[in-house]
Amino acid sequence: MNLAPFRGLRIRPTSERVREAIFNLLGQDMEGYSVLDLFAGTGVLGIEAMSRGAEKAVFIDNSIESIKIIQKNLNLFNFTEAATIIKRDLKRGLPEINKWFHLVFIDPPYEKGLIRRVFDDLIHGPYLMPEAFVVIESRKGEILPDETHILRKWKQRIYGDTIITIYHKEN
């Protein structure tokens, strides 16, 4: 997937290798899914899900630079009609969104302590559909729970310094 070019090191898009691994673990068919891409950066994870059939996606990032790149990438793949972009500092928590999601990506800047805060907001709010998946990209050494009151660790893989942890909501 060729994304719109961007400058700067403040945006860290998920590598093609890790992205491919995520979708190999989840499966290739996202038909009808609604997707929430948190700390969206370039939007590559949500856009990849849309290219595999996801019906709609919400992208949230705090950076104006990221918002512009996400918009360019959505235009590039003709997904603008099915997407919503929200500028928000997720340190303040998740925004109220009147949607439930089948798939959530959490890929914050490493070593900023943001995963746990957003993960807690996610599992205590009205965001996850029955049978939803939550994919967290973290740095090796970050400790994540095996389960919560609604999610159970489903799969985990390590790629260099990156850990991909996938949770599943079981009903």
The number of angstroms, rounded, from the C-alpha of 163 to the middle of its chain's C-alpha atoms is 14
pLDDT tens track, the chain, 171 positions: 565 555 554 666 677 888 899 999 998 899 999 999 999 999 999 999 999 999 999 999 999 999 999 999 999 999 999 999 999 999 999 998 878 999 999 999 877 788 988 999 999 999 999 999 999 999 888 889 999 999 999 999 998 888 999 999 987
How are beta strands 101-106 and 128-139 bridged, if at all? Answer: parallel
Those residues whose C-beta lies under 8 Å from the C-beta of residue 124, and which sit 6 or more positions away, are none
Query: In DSSP terms, which residues pair with 58 in a beta bridge?
Result: 36, 84
Q: Report CA dihedral (22, 25, 30, 35) to the nearest 10 degrees.
A: -50
Q: Identify the DSSP state of 62.
A: S
Show the domains of the chain with their CATH numbers. 16-169 (3.40.50.150)
Check: CB of residue 37 under 8 Å from CB of residue 59: yes
Q: 92 burial class (0-12, 13-18, 19+ CB within 10 angstroms)?
A: exposed
Q: Give, for 22, the enclosing helix (H) or strand (E).
A: helix 16-26
Alpha carbons 150 and 110: distance in angstroms, whole number: 25
**Within a 10 A sphere around the Cβ of 54, how many other Cβ atoms?**
24
Model pLDDT, residue 19: 86
Single out the residue of 43, 27, 119 nearest to residue 35, CA to CA: 43
Model pLDDT, residue 158: 92
Model pLDDT, residue 4: 57
User: Which tokens belong to 73?
Assistant: 């990438």
